[in-house]
Amino acid sequence: MLAILILIPFICAFLVMLPSTKQFKGKLFLLVTLLHGLIVASFWKVLPAPEFDGFIALDQMSLILMSIISLLFLLVAVFMLGYFEHEQRSNRKLIACLLALLSTMTLSSVSRHMGLLWMAVETSTLFSAPLISFHRNRDSLEATWKYLLVCSVGIALALMGTFFLAIAAHDVHTLLLSEILDKASSLSTNWLKLSVIFLLVGYGCKMGLAPMHSWKPEAYGQSTGMVAVLMSGAVTQCSFLALVRVGQICGKTGLADFYSSILILTGLLSLAVPALFILSERNIKRAFAYSSIEHMGLLVLGLGMGGVGVFGALFHMINNALAKVIMFLTAGSIAQKYGSSRMDEVRGVIHIYPVTGTFLISALLAGTGMFPFATFHSELMILNAAVISRHYVLAFFVVACLAVMFIGVARIVLDIVHGQPTEPVLEKKENFFMNSAIVAAIIGLIGIGLWMPAPLEKILSAAVLIANG
């Protein structure tokens, strides 16, 4: 079943390359994502058996990520139906790359071999690169080049880390996660430490953790909202899964403290850097990109803190993904309507597009972790973990960074929403498909913020046990 789930989108990626109408491609994409979503939903009842000698298998941790991927693609597919009503460019390459990306990300969520996991993450980098240059102008090509080079170097370092892990696991004779965990005591600690550092830098580069974040504002700023959603909500979180897997190995080999300390350090840096840059930012997409760096920082911080922090981090994976849908799809919708996402050129959105304006306010609240959005709860859990472990200075630092981020993002969003319109814009109708995708994400995020369904809590608790080793 897992192999089918990986193969279907990949085959459809080739189908999309055949000549057909724009509408057909959009509907095929929706159909594939719907099918993917239904199969993933069935896994919530019964987990499928491992396949290919255990190289691919689904545990609760993978299931969370896979569900996020599936949900994001479904929402993007709905949004895309509306987006291409106003877009002149062909959607052929975009949808083909998106389907290939869906396939490789599904593979990375179920990989249980560290080499295969690297391969899947690398392939997802490659398929996401052409997506950034969809508009193919000077800036977007430069952003793509930067993304490709920075991430390729990062991913090469992760490969080096994977090989160091292979040396550490010399007596295990395989990189299968289950075998490594079973024979963890035979691992060479020195090589494992070296491997952990390389893997963290490598996958951290792909996640956009500071100081390897430089590609993020460019890439998200130049790509369409839909691509930014998938990159910030799904592609980066695949790398986070890799870091969780590394944490599992560290937990079994007595390196948990060593790993936690570098995770906390990286997390704090990823909170501080965007806070420094956000106040001088004038582009809404770039501002949301900085917010994404901050959220990635929160994820690794939660993982590093342990205890309730891990639960918070895993819950934050879901919340971050939904918040990114609201943020980037709304930003994408504005960019399409105004042809810009800079606050100097877009003002007074609520006067012309009341619904989009309201979405942007929701994006601000969801992205900065305000009640009743679930991001509030997960951020609180991560903060709670810091307080429980008596890291009061750290907790204060996190709150200060979050406050600065709130001020920075609010400054741009409120100016765009409530400012005086600079020039009259041609009256365009709001699009049903585009808006319904955003509404679904808002309802979902508020929903799990107010009430967590029992199955979700069960899966999250099981995933926490896995992550803690």
Partner 1 sequence: MTTWIDASCILIVFLALTMLATYRIVGIIKIFAAQSFVLGLTPFFLHADGLTIRDIVIAMGTIVLKTAFVPFVLLWAMRHVSMRSEIKPIIGLGTSIVFGAMIIAGAFWVSLSLHLPGKPISDLMLPCSLSTVLLGFLIMVTRTRAVTQVLGYLVMENGIFLFTLSLFDVMPTLIEMGILLDIFVAVFIMAIIVNHINDEFERSPASVSRSKMGEAF
Given the rule CB under 8 A, which residues bind partner 1?
113, 115-116, 118-119, 122-123, 126, 129-130, 133, 136-138, 141-142, 144-146, 148-150, 152-153, 156, 159-160, 163, 166-167, 169-171, 173-175, 188, 191, 205, 211-212, 214-215, 218
Spacing of C-alpha 98 from chain mean position: 15
Smallest distance from partner 1 to CB 310, Å: 29
Nearer to partner 1 among residue 115 and residue 419 (C-beta): 115
Nearer to partner 1 among residue 214 and residue 389 (C-beta): 214
Of how many residues is the chain composed? 469
Nearer to partner 1 among residue 126 and residue 279 (C-beta): 126
Smallest distance from partner 1 to CB 271, Å: 18
Nearer to partner 1 among residue 138 and residue 390 (C-beta): 138
Measured between alpha carbons, how far is residue 214 from residues 116, 139, 197, 199, 221 in Å? 27, 15, 19, 18, 12
Nearer to partner 1 among residue 28 and residue 160 (C-beta): 160
For residues 12 and 68, what is the distance between their CA atoms, to the nearest angstrom?
21
For residues 350 and 352, what is the distance between their CA atoms, to the nearest angstrom?
6
Smallest distance from partner 1 to CB 163, Å: 6
The answer to whether 350 and 337 have CB atoms below 8 angstroms apart is: no
The widest CA-to-CA distance across the chain, in whole angstroms, is 70
Smallest distance from partner 1 to CB 227, Å: 15
For residues 244 and 78, what is the distance between their CA atoms, to the nearest angstrom?
31
Cβ atoms < 10 Å from Cβ of 198: 20
Smallest distance from partner 1 to CB 126, Å: 5
Smallest distance from partner 1 to CB 419, Å: 29
Smallest distance from partner 1 to CB 62, Å: 19
For residues 468 and 244, what is the distance between their CA atoms, to the nearest angstrom?
9
Phi, psi of 314 (to 5 degrees): -70, -40
Nearer to partner 1 among residue 211 and residue 354 (C-beta): 211
Smallest distance from partner 1 to CB 39, Å: 24
Nearer to partner 1 among residue 118 and residue 373 (C-beta): 118
Alpha helices in 339-373 (DSSP H): 349-352, 354-367
Q: Would you tell me the crossing angle of helices 236-253 and 60-83 to the nearest 10 degrees?
A: 170
Nearer to partner 1 among residue 218 and residue 294 (C-beta): 218
Q: Any bridge partners for residue 176, and if so which? A: 113
For residues 408 and 101, what is the distance between their CA atoms, to the nearest angstrom?
32
DSSP letter for each residue of 14-58: HHHHSS--HHHHHHHHHHHHHHHHHHHHHHTTSPPPPBTTTTB--
Smallest distance from partner 1 to CB 72, Å: 23
Nearer to partner 1 among residue 57 and residue 159 (C-beta): 159
